[in-house]
Amino acid sequence: MVSVRLKLPSSEGRVARWLVAFMTLGFIALAAAAIAIGWITMRSSAYTAEILHTQDVRQAIATLQVEMEQSETARRGYILVGTPLFATAYARTAGNIVPSIRAIRHLTSDNPAQTSRIDRIESRFVRLRALRTQSMTLVATGRIAEARRRFAVDASVPLMRGIRYRLQAMAADEVRLLAIRTGHQQRSSALFLSVAGLAAALLLVVAILAILVIRRYTTDLAGSRDSLRDLNETLEDQVATRTADLSRANEEIQRFAYIVSHDLRSPLVNVMGFTAELATAAGPLAELIDRAEAEAPHILTQDAKLAAREDLPEAIGFIRTSTQKMDRLINAILKLSREGRRTIAPEHIDPAQLVDTIIGSMQHIVDDRGAVVRVERPMPAIVTDRLALEQILSNLIENATKYLKPGRPGEIVVRGHKERSRVILSVIDNGRGIDVRDHQRVFDLFRRSGPQDQPGEGIGLAHVRALAYRLGGTIDVQSTLGDGATFRLNLPSAMTIQDSTP
Amino acid sequence: MNQHQTVGIVMIEDDEGHARLIEKNIRRAGILNDIKHFTDGTSALDFLFNAVDGPAKSGPAMILLDLNLPDMSGTDILARIKAENSPLRRTPVVVLTTTDDKIEIERCYDLGCNVYITKPVNYESFAQAIRQLGLFLSVIQVPDAE
């Protein structure tokens, strides 16, 4: 026996579920990675903006420092030399200081520490600017000496120092901020890289898993397909082998039956022949006894007379009837075996027409027995062996007319119907019926049912069953004793020859 | 009747009982021709074709042939006798067998068997058939010497 586990559907379902799960997981991971990367990028650009802002602030502080120093330098040069070149240089740089302070305040409005510093710088500058304006006016009006004397005592130097100190503090603060923000940005970049790397790794894992699952699925599928193909191939082989075995066994039985019946006849010919010789020999012997009785009665014993006149003819008679019966039985086996060896030739047959022919050929028997056979039309057409079907039906109809219930005129109905690819032909009678326990037995060779009041050897139905099997069909009987019988012949509607019986 | 005497009967039959019954009935029919009995095919063929007093070398004969022999099939012997270049192809052959198989009978006639008699268990008809061989024997023509 070849047994193949067909686990395809469940395995396929499980694999498909795994596959979908992995794909979903992969897409979720991908989406999460995209969101994370987007968020990190946004954070990163925010940090970049902050860094740029800090740079701007540093730039603005540096500009203010330069302007403060340049204007102070120009003022001091003017006081020292009085050249108008210093006055124009002072005017150019000092005019820029207030907008620069404003710009810084604007830029550092988010930073209270820086704002307070710039406020202090401005207040100092306002005082310094008053001193500067005074000096410039004195020099411009030619009072350089007074300007110098005032410069030596006024508060412009400490003011300037305070401004310088605070501006340096602001710049240092911005440098500190820059370091913090650059650190943020670097961490953000590192995070971006690790998230991207993680997503890539995740994707790789999902892809590998998916490939593995698909490979397993494909291998499973190929395996199933292979085993299915193997099964298919071995199935054909098996069927062919079994069919060959069967037809060989069948041929063997046919040959066996043929040889047995044939070789059994040979000694039977001798038994019968020499019995006849014995009978012939008994004739003169009986004559001799008769003559002896007439001419010399004293030599005769009662035993001799009995032997010649009764025992001998009786024994010969029994031997004869027995051998004749044996010959009929052997002939029946021979007929069956011959029937089994006959070539079956399927053809299109209208069963109704065939039944008509059968009834026609046995009309006188049917009439003699006082029976009526009715054919119900229409009957389904059938493709089968004509001779075999004819023999089956004529046996069944003949039986139906033979075993009538005494006192009830025989009524036989032949009908047929189709059940899918089978044709069922029924022969229904109202005869004496068959006891339920004999329903199988009647189909056995040399077995009969009910009172043995009709001639026959118990061959007909065995023959019918053998023929039905030969045509790829079956036969059964439904009957109750005394109430008629229905023989149902179940045949393929289109017979195909499968075996190669020679 | 002189001509009949020259026709020898060769009986090839493995069953002694059958042979005895056949002989009895032949004699009972008033046929007194010499009967040579063989129980196997090999010795029968040897006699038919090679023996000095056999039918091939001297004189006409009639052959009674059983189809079921221990060493060979009767149809093989029939084929040998009726072969194209056989000296015995004109010798009448009566096939006697228990088989009443139509195909086998046809095959025997195809091979050139002259009469086919089945051995029925009904002895009377068998005896009748054997007796009629007497009539058959009387019409056998002695072949011209070639």
- Å from B116 to nearest chain A CA? 17
Contact A339, A465 (CB under 8 A): no
Which residue type, as a one-letter code, is found at position A441? R
Tell the residue number behind the tokens 């490979």, with chain if given: A215
Instruction: Inspect the interface and report whether the beta carbons of B122 and A272 lie closer than 8 Å.
Output: yes
Are B18 and A338 in contact (CB < 8 Å)? Answer: no
Which of A265, A267, A276 is the closest to B123 by Cβ?
Answer: A276
Query: How far is the C-alpha of A285 from the C-alpha of A293, rounded, in Å?
Result: 12
Q: Which residues of A touch B24 (CB under 8 A)?
A: 277
Confidence at residue A154, expressed as pLDDT on a 0 to 100 scale: 82
pLDDT at residue B1 in the model: 41
- Residue type, position B120, single letter: P
Q: Do A270 and B18 touch (CB under 8 A)?
A: yes
Q: What's the complex ipTM?
A: 0.76
Q: Where are the domains of chain A?
A: 8-220, 245-340, 345-492
The minimal CB distance from A327 to the residues B15, B101, B121 is found for B121
Number of cross-chain residue pairs from A and B with Cβ atoms under 8 Å apart: 47
Considering only the top CATH level, what class is A345-492? alpha beta
Residue B10 buriedness (CB in 10 A; 0-12 / 13-18 / 19+): buried
Interface test with B, best of A255, A258, A265, A269 (most B CBs within 10 A): A269
Q: Are A160 and A72 in contact (CB under 8 A)?
A: yes
Residue A144 backbone zone (phi > 0: left; psi -120 to 50: alpha; other: beta) = alpha
B100's tokens: 């009443």
- Predicted confidence (pLDDT) at residue B18 exceeds the cutoff of 90: no
Which among A262, A268, A274 has the least Cβ separation from residue B99? A262
State the distance between the two ends of chain B, measured CA to CA, in whole angstroms. Answer: 24
Is A136 in contact with A94 (CB distance < 8 Å)?
no
**H or E segment to which residue A429 belongs:** strand A422-429
Topology (CATH) of B2-138: Rossmann fold (3.40.50)
**Between β-strands A346-349 and A382-385, what pairing exists: parallel, antiparallel or unpaired?**
antiparallel
Q: pLDDT for B73-92, tens place per residue?
A: 888 899 989 888 888 888 88
Query: Spelled out in words, what is the top-level CATH class assigned to the domain A8-220?
Result: mainly alpha
Q: Do B21 and A269 touch (CB under 8 A)?
A: yes
SS3 state at A110: coil
Say whether pTM exceeds 0.80.
no
Note whether B123 contacts A: Cβ–Cβ < 8 A: yes
Chain A contact probe: residue of B16, B121, B131 with most A CBs at under 10 A? B121
Q: Which residue of A has its CA nearest to B125?
A: A273
Q: Where are the domains of chain B?
A: 2-138
- Nearest 5°: the CA angle A322, A328, A331 is 140
CB contact under 8 A, A272 and B24: no
pLDDT surpassing 70 at residue B138: no
Instruction: Count Cβ atoms below 10 Å from residue A464 Cβ, excluding itself.
Output: 23
Beta-carbon separation of B123 and A324 below 8 A: no
The CA-CA-CA angle for residues B86, B92, B95, to 5°, reads: 105
Rounded distance between C-alpha atoms, residue A402 and residue A429, angstroms: 10
pLDDT for A330 = 82
Contacts of A263 in chain B (CB under 8 A): 68
Reported as a single tens digit per residue, the pLDDT across A151-177 is 888 888 888 888 889 889 989 988 998
pLDDT at residue A389 in the model: 92
Q: Using CA coordinates, name the residue in chain B closest to A259.
A: B99
CA–CA dist B117, B104 (Å, integer): 12
Question: Under an 8 A CB cutoff, do B121 and A338 touch?
Answer: no
Per-residue pLDDT of chain A (502 residues; tens, 9 = 90+): 444 444 444 555 676 677 778 778 777 877 888 898 889 889 888 888 988 989 998 999 999 989 888 888 888 888 888 888 888 888 888 888 889 899 988 988 888 888 888 888 888 889 888 888 888 888 888 888 888 888 888 888 888 888 889 889 989 988 998 899 899 889 888 988 888 888 888 888 888 888 887 888 889 899 999 988 888 888 888 888 888 888 888 778 777 777 777 778 888 888 888 888 888 888 888 888 888 888 888 888 888 888 888 888 899 989 988 888 888 888 877 777 777 777 888 999 999 999 999 999 888 888 888 889 999 988 999 999 999 999 999 999 999 998 988 888 889 999 999 998 899 999 999 999 998 888 888 998 888 888 888 888 788 898 899 889 888 899 999 998 888 999 999 999 988 775 444 3
Residues of A with CB under 8 A from a CB of B: 262-263, 265-270, 272-277, 323-324, 327, 338
Question: Which pLDDT score, from 0 to 100, does residue B146 have?
Answer: 42
